[in-house]
Structure 1
Amino acid sequence: MKWTCTVALLALMTSISFAVDHTKDSPAMIKMNIESKKAVLVDVREQSEWNNGHIKGAIFLPLSSLRDGVSKAEQKQLPKGKIIYLHCAAGFRAKVAADLLKKHNDKIQPVKQGYDELLDAGFQKAK
């Protein structure tokens, strides 16, 4: 039974299509765009993950809060005219969040690299 559920879940996940692809920007380019104020980084992981560590300067906007629609307050966190990089732990939730946010901002770009990979690429952990 467990194996059947796992196979069914994998089949479902591979059949899901996303309107927004992962950004082609490298972690170095993402970091440069954020440092030059051309972009912001949004963490779509959940509260417990955020509490265990997050990237310095990232905006916290968990995917679970977006599932029922994007509030005006959440929209205000996403500055117009800037690239909005979305990251999570492994890249999947960033794509889901990008699909939910795309109609509110056309510069949404989910990041394939997860939190740990971004730290390894030189992003600073918030203290």
Structure 2
Amino acid sequence: MNARTATLVDVRETDEWEEGHLLAATLVPLSEIGEKTNDSAWIADLKRRVPTDRPVYTHCKSGGRCVMAADPLRELGYDVRPMKEGYVELLDSGFERED
């Protein structure tokens, strides 16, 4: 995945992120997506951090939460593509970890 053509979004929660995350990822916890999709300030901040002009690949620990995040993000104008691979599988496939 080329950073100029797609964005990687981690929808795990902050405590999981702080234990380690993919170097290329941006954190957008599923709990925030569920709570704040009607908050215009949150949406504006999200659109600054995660551009709407490229595909967004979401990932989580095992694949469930990234699917749940897809529809609300699509409603905000994102081309969302949930990844089947979970966090550990992505590390095993060669994504770099940042602590």
Please say whether Structure 1 and Structure 2 have the same fold, judged by a TM-score greater than 0.5.
yes
Higher Cα Rg, which structure: 1
Name the SS of the counterpart of 2:81 in structure 1: strand
Preserved contact between residue 85 and residue 111 of structure 1 (Cα < 8 Å): yes
Preserved contact between residue 54 and residue 126 of structure 1 (Cα < 8 Å): yes
Which gives a bigger RCO, structure 1 or 2 (Cα 8 Å, sep 6+)? Answer: 2
Provide the alpha-carbon RMSD of the alignment: 1.3
Greater strand percent: which structure?
2
Give the TM-score taking structure 1 as reference length: 0.69
How many residue pairs get matched?
Answer: 94
Cα separation, 2, equivalents of 1:38 and 1:92: 24
Cα separation, 2, equivalents of 1:34 and 1:45: 22
Give the TM-score taking structure 2 as reference length: 0.86
Gaps of 5+ in 2: none
Paired-residue identity, %: 37
Q: Pick from 93, 96, 99 the counterpart of residue 124 of structure 1.
A: 96
Q: Which residue of 2 aligns with 1:34?
A: 2
Cα separation, 1, equivalents of 2:97 and 2:36: 29
